Amino acid sequence: AQSVAQPEDQVNVAEGNPLTVKCTYSVSGNPYLFWYVQYPNRGLQFLLKYITGDNLVKGSYGFEAEFNKSQTSFHLKKPSALVSDSALYFCAVRPTAGRRALTFGSGTRLQVQP
Amino acid sequence: KAGVTQTPRYLIKTRGQQVTLSCSPISGHRSVSWYQQTPGQGLQFLFEYFSETQRNKGNFPGRFSGRQFSNSRSEMNVSTLELGDSALYLCASSLESGGRNTEAFFGQGTRLTVV
């Protein structure tokens, strides 16, 4: 069975500083990996995905994520945080073969202070 | 392109009643999935439909059911509602069921409250 761990319930960072939101996964075979963001009373908004190829994936709003196969990690990063980045972030995984459903992590609340 | 549309946005039902939620996917998307989001359990997969066929099903009781129509629109039904069914129900559509173009695009959700 696949699983995703987001070890931090909350990450606090000052505006302008770099941010990292951590994610590790477990899946049989090769993974498809995703990051989503959720603002209050809204659905999930797609940020980026890793399918194959370059380990550094660039996405929307200046976010990027680094795939590390040996550490089974897919951390979300941004060089300079904005107050408007404050939201709930979800990492998700699904295998490239077999069951198609996304398995989500528990979410990490990002708080960017002015 | 219009996004995923879910109706209604908010719903209050009484225990024992049934409810139907609706989802219109992005034009051209043939895969529709449903997820339940609660503070305690997080995001949990309910089921996926592709070309009117259920492709995958999560670990939910039979009270939860769904269907997809020929225009890819999908409905989700919950019968004999329980207090624990109170949640945000999210619908997501994607271009393909498998393959590389499988990022899911989510609607704003239907907030169901069971009293």
Query: Given this model, what pLDDT does residue B95 score?
Result: 83
**Which residues of chain A lie closer than 8 angstroms to B45, CB-CB?**
101-103
Q: Report d(CA B98, CA A96) in Å as an integer.
A: 8
Say how far apart CA A70 and CA A81 lie, in whole Å. 28
CB A82 within 8 A of CB A15: yes
By three-state DSSP, how is residue A98 classified? coil
Of the listed ranges A50-64, A85-99, B2-16, the least confidently predicted one is A85-99
In the predicted structure, residue B103 carries a pLDDT above the cut 90:
no
Task: Provide the shortest C-alpha distance from residue A5 to chain B (in Å).
Answer: 12
More confident residue, A109 or B1: A109
Question: Would you say B16 and B80 are in contact if contact means Cβ atoms under 8 Å apart?
Answer: yes
Residues of B at the A interface, defined by Cβ within 8 angstroms: 4, 6, 31, 33, 35, 42-43, 45, 48, 55-56, 58, 90, 92, 97-98, 100, 102-109, 111
pLDDT at residue B54 above 60? yes
Cα–Cα distance, A4 to A114 (Å, whole number): 31
Backbone angles phi, psi at B73, to 5 degrees: -60, 150
- Between A92-101, B15-24, B37-46, B64-73, the lowest mean confidence (pLDDT) is in A92-101
pLDDT of residue A99 exceeding 90, the answer is: no
Predicted pLDDT of residue A19: 97
Q: A73: closest CA among A61, A59, A55, A98?
A: A55
Rounded to an integer, what distance in angstroms lies between the CA atom of residue A62 and that of residue B77? 39
| Of the candidates B5, B1, B55, B9, the residue with the CA atom closest to the CA atom of residue B28 | B1
Distance of CA B34 to the CA centre of its chain: 3
Least confident of A69-83, A93-107, B59-73: A93-107
What residues in A contact B95, CB-CB < 8 Å? none
B109 min Cα distance to partner chain A (Å)? 6
Nearest CA to B92 out of B102, B107, B77 is that of B107
Using a CB-CB cut-off of 8 Å, the residues of chain A touching B108 are 41-43
Burial of A49 (0-12, 13-18, 19+ CB in 10 A): buried
Nearest Cα neighbor of A37 from A72, A80, A84 is: A84
Is A45–B106 a contact, with Cβ atoms under 8 angstroms apart? yes
Would you state the structure tokens that stand for residue A77, as one six-digit string? 């990063």
pLDDT of residue A98: 66
Cross-chain Cβ contact A46/B106 below 8 Å: yes
Mean pLDDT, residues A26-51 = 91
The mean pLDDT of chain A is 93
